[in-house]
Structure 1
């Protein structure tokens, strides 16, 4: 019954292909994507930011480099610095009119110091200014990195304004880093920006699902909203529906969707008062706000040999509230995403038969979902402390792993006693990336949602695929090859005066990984994963240990 039921992230999109040559000739796509240290490709990577294992966020002035398992770069932060001029061996400066500004020095003991604009000065034999901090971080002290990757491949157009097939499309993210889902890019008025990942984990038609994603970078241009969807992995992607939800609302109001497509307003968001793991470590700095500090333990057992973490969070409960909205920003971990392919590959030549079972037998699909909830690989149970103990009151569905979104989970607090709410989660190691948790006690405000169908959609070759995206049916827009792109356009309605606009993309679809389906099934591993509680997490830990060992030997 092995499979994967990841959920909740974003969906397909594109751009008007005919006749908007200006948008498609020479356009580029830009990503700043998170990766694990083991997924760095080498010294060519442009490292923009990283978090260390002790919770430090480091942003680099341009980008850092990897060399001999050490990340080195100049930070974007600065501290006051002064040094006697006679201790300086070299000075690099620039002149602005009559003033000379020192940009960089090398000290007599070989240290290089760079200064923030407008530079340092030399007064009375002392060079002083705001010095940029240089970092050298061993890779084993790095938890997660953000790297910049750009696809500047040009899109050629045939005469009559139709899109021609590109000779080659340089895909920015290697398949080893990304294991599932399409990528969605929003046109922000000047370029396409990576903005969404839809229906992660829907690995067969029987697991097809709806997805609801806020498009934070999408901007109207010429009365149109333009999106692009790409296949950047070894899989075939099937998109059944795509529509844009336009919400004009009171300024300053935040919105978030739940698993079922309900939109919620957020006006009284309370971060956790405390967040501790089983060993008593304070995780509040990691989980109190949505930022680059993401709690993502590797797929290794703890000191007691357990693959299950445990995090208990405490929140205020004003006026003995009986209902609350949990707002969680969580995603499938990078290693958890990789395990989708690894676990499906265990089925060997019986993979197609397993797909047929999931697609054709509702009971098989339901059994798979029950297994997933038991193991909490891609669905994380949320427990509320009540007089009877810890009670499961909902589940968070994984997404990503590159883009996590705020998701709302309504919770019933009627059985809770006192002025505090305590929540518990028990994520298996390596499968979850946890960014932030909060409770919102405000009443949902009434919203007017305009659901807008696309007016044009074409694939990489310029073929019209609009009808495939208009309704959930048996007609799918299919992207079978790595490098396929789809371009879609929506009309942009005039905004209502005195409001702010939030945009959501509602899509529906699934995908099939490109696996050979050859060889004998690994029945021992499949039995362990399907039947033993925690067996899947132990399998993932064994694969992680093997990967680390192979990487260290290669170094």
Structure 2
């Protein structure tokens, strides 16, 4: 017995958002994808966030939760509802056949993993040791994100939040697949536009260098990796040291996506900690 899951594959790029008047105020995002559920179109996907120039274009995968066949056909509606220019090179529908009572999710490259049950963390704490496990027990609309109104954030030497997950370790396992449902908050969207806006009338020169994969591309990737923007590092605690074993990509800000991250852990015992 099998069940079909629908994933939309989109290759595209968003450009021009730095050229809009009032950029820090207007809300811009990614193309919105609507699925026909048999009676109406429902907002179902928001691909390739952060691809603000041709040099940064990427292929993205979005699970379609609401897509249903109508007269033997699947109907999708793509709309640009924001103040930006969007380019989409191709869009494909991928049907993933998997056993009943299981789910499928892609990794960052699109490779699918099928799983029956995801084991929740034993505990989740922040950098201050505060227990925030409630936010991570299951996939739902309850999400954890930074409280930007908290003045204590600006009165500390720590410039990043830390989330420490503790999981039971499967016996004799050397690798584990993490199922992550996460996305970039609207703060990330605002930050992206601000970063482009401060380039002023030289933003087109910056775009050109990015598209040519020049020095600005290298500087951008180094900045994104260092500050963990759009991609978070997954570190495993081994012999008292945090070792980077993978990374977590983000979608959003309006629709979060499931992603699989395969992580090695070599020197953990009965449980392992993810940072």
Which bin holds the TM-score, normalised by the shorter protein?
A: 0.7 to 0.9
Change (3 A) 1:290 1:408: same
Deviations 1:407-436 (A, max 9, x none): 1010012x2321101000xxxxxxxxxxxx
In the aligned structure 2, how far is the partner of 1:179 from the partner of 1:11? 21
The answer to whether the aligner puts 1:234 opposite 2:83 as a matched pair is: yes
The answer to whether the aligner puts 1:347 opposite 2:176 as a matched pair is: no
Structure 2, unmatched stretches of 5+, are: 1-6, 12-23
5 Å matches for 1:496-507? none
Aligned to 1:375: 227
Aligned to 2:4: none
Aligned mate of 1:259, from 89, 94, 108 = 108
The answer to whether the aligner puts 1:215 opposite 2:96 as a matched pair is: no
Are the counterparts in 2 of residues 12 and 182 from structure 1 also a CA contact under 8 Å?
no
- Larger Rg: 1 or 2? 1
Are the counterparts in 1 of residues 47 and 60 from structure 2 also a CA contact under 8 Å?
yes
In the aligned structure 1, how far is the partner of 2:124 from the partner of 2:225? 23
In the aligned structure 2, how far is the partner of 1:10 from the partner of 1:329? 17
What secondary structure sits across from 1:285 in the alignment? helix
In the aligned structure 2, how far is the partner of 1:270 from the partner of 1:288? 9
Are the counterparts in 1 of residues 34 and 45 from structure 2 also a CA contact under 8 Å?
yes
TM-score, scaled to structure 1: 0.44
Are the counterparts in 1 of residues 206 and 216 from structure 2 also a CA contact under 8 Å?
no
Change (3 A) 1:177 1:235: closer
Aligned to 1:385: 237
What secondary structure sits across from 2:74 in the alignment? strand
What secondary structure sits across from 1:349 in the alignment? helix
5 Å matches for 1:391-540? 391-413=243-265, 415-424=266-275
What secondary structure sits across from 1:225 in the alignment? coil
In the aligned structure 2, how far is the partner of 1:189 from the partner of 1:176? 36
Q: CA RMSD in A?
A: 2.0
Aligned mate of 1:358, from 197, 210, 217 = 210
Aligned to 2:166: 314
5 Å matches for 1:23-34? none
In the aligned structure 1, how far is the partner of 2:8 from the partner of 2:72? 23
In the aligned structure 2, how far is the partner of 1:278 from the partner of 1:236? 39
Are the counterparts in 2 of residues 275 and 314 from structure 1 also a CA contact under 8 Å?
yes
In the aligned structure 2, how far is the partner of 1:200 from the partner of 1:367? 19
Give how far 1:317 is off.
Answer: 0.6
What secondary structure sits across from 1:265 in the alignment? strand
In the aligned structure 2, how far is the partner of 1:232 from the partner of 1:209? 20
The answer to whether the aligner puts 1:201 opposite 2:40 as a matched pair is: no
Aligned to 2:20: none
* Bigger shift: residues 234-243 or 357-366: 357-366
Give how far 1:357 is off.
Answer: 0.2
In the aligned structure 2, how far is the partner of 1:198 from the partner of 1:11? 9
Give how far 1:359 is off.
Answer: 0.1
The answer to whether the aligner puts 1:188 opposite 2:37 as a matched pair is: yes
Structure 1, unmatched stretches of 5+, are: 1-8, 14-174, 425-555
Give how far 1:12 is off.
Answer: 6.1
Q: Highest relative contact order (Cα 8 Å, sep 6+), 1 or 2?
A: 1
Give the length in aligned residue pairs.
Answer: 254
In the aligned structure 2, how far is the partner of 1:341 from the partner of 1:263? 33
